[in-house]
Amino acid sequence: MPRNLKGVYSLVNKLFNTTNSMRAIRHLRQTSQEVSASSQKLSSGSRITKASDDAAGLSIAAKMRANIGSRHQAIRNGNDAMGYMHVLEGSVQSMQDMVVRMRELTVASASDTYGDQERSMMNLEVQQLLHEIKRISDSTELFEKRISQGKKQWLEFQVDVNNKDNNRLKINLGEFAHSPMALGISNVKVDSQLRARTSMIKLDYAQKSLSESMAKLGALSSRVTSTVNNLENTQENMQAAKSRIKDADMAKETATNMAGKLKENMQVQTNNIINKGSQSLLKLLS
């Protein structure tokens, strides 16, 4: 073949080959990007791995994630509040049991069934019980605040995600002032019939005060339990909603990934065929 004709065919082939190669490379690059994006979604389990996937969905999911995290902490705060109230309940219950025992001893001492010697022994037990009530009062603390000293000290637990008064549980420790002095039983004695009968009234008042405290703690515990249950239910629903927005459809992404890889392989082979065809044509022309 004449040299000038060979040159023309060579030039045409180069132009044809360059155009097809560029087109094939562009399609191959696009397919590779699709396969890479699909692989990222499969590995992360998320439908949105970058803002360009779904900017609005990503923004909504971020807000929901922050809200879910805040609710999780509020649930922990509520459970902490329950734990501290159990401490209070245990303290009050122990005192209540001791007051009941002292009330029994006043009834026994008020009767002529027992003499002075027995009353003296009963009084010794009463005084020991009073010391124990004082010990519990002095030693039981929440956040370095003694719970039974009669002072107006408040504990606040943030049990919801908003800055509102009803989103906080407030406990006035002054309402649980149960030292012997606060209960009005510091001078209770049963070493005589008269003192025993006088002490009955004081112990009845103490029992009433302790029962009221138990009722308050029960109401607070019930409120916190309901609050935590509601938070957990809301958090579960929000988590499900967030998953619907952001989580990847694994079956769909797996199929997309496999199809993309097959397409990628075919494009690579096609590009190789184009290059080989060009080389064969040049050989024929030569």
Cα separation of 267 and 274, whole Å? 10
Cα separation of 77 and 75, whole Å? 5
pLDDT at 21: 60
Query: Model confidence over 212-256: pLDDT tens digits?
Result: 999 999 999 998 999 999 998 988 888 777 676 655 555 666 666
**Contact (Cβ atoms closer than 8 angstroms) between residue 95 and residue 203:** no
264 or 30: which carries more pLDDT confidence? 30
pTM tops 0.85: no
pLDDT at 161: 83
146 or 84: which carries more pLDDT confidence? 84
Instruction: Indicate whether 17 pLDDT > 60.
Output: no
Which SS3 state, helix, strand or coil, does residue 157 take? Answer: strand
Q: Where are the domains of the chain?
A: 3-45+249-285, 76-246
Burial profile 80-115: b = 16 or more Cβ within 10 angstroms, e = fewer: ebbeebeebbebbebbbebbeebbebbeebbeeebe
pLDDT at 189: 95
Region of 184 (left: φ > 0; alpha: ψ -120 to 50; beta: rest) is left
Instruction: Indicate whether 105 pLDDT > 90.
Output: yes
Beta bridge partners of 96: none
Helix, strand, coil share (%) of the chain residues, nearest 5: 80, 5, 15
Three-state SS for 159-212 is CCCCCCHHHEEEEEHHHHCCCHHHHCCCCCCCCCHHHHHHHHHHHHHHHHHHHH
Question: Burial, 116: exposed, middle or buried (Cβ in 10 Å; 0-12, 13-18, 19+)?
Answer: exposed
**Contact (Cβ atoms closer than 8 angstroms) between residue 74 and residue 238:** no
Q: What band does 3 get if pLDDT is binned at 50, 70 and 90? A: very low
Cα separation of 38 and 51, whole Å? 15
Cα separation of 268 and 259, whole Å? 14
Q: For the chain, where are the E strands, in sequence order? A: 141-142, 145-146, 154-158, 168-172
CATH match of 76-246 with 1.20.1330.10: yes
Query: Model confidence over 38-86: pLDDT tens digits?
Result: 666 556 556 555 555 667 766 777 788 888 888 899 999 999 888 888 8
Question: Burial, 246: exposed, middle or buried (Cβ in 10 Å; 0-12, 13-18, 19+)?
Answer: buried
Q: Return phi, psi of residue 170, to 5°.
A: -110, 130
Cα separation of 94 and 178, whole Å? 11
**Radius of gyration of the chain from Cα atoms?**
41
Q: Which of 211, 205, 232, 11 is nearest to 93 (CA)?
A: 211
**Contact (Cβ atoms closer than 8 angstroms) between residue 148 and residue 176:** yes
Other beta carbons within 10 Å of 12 = 11
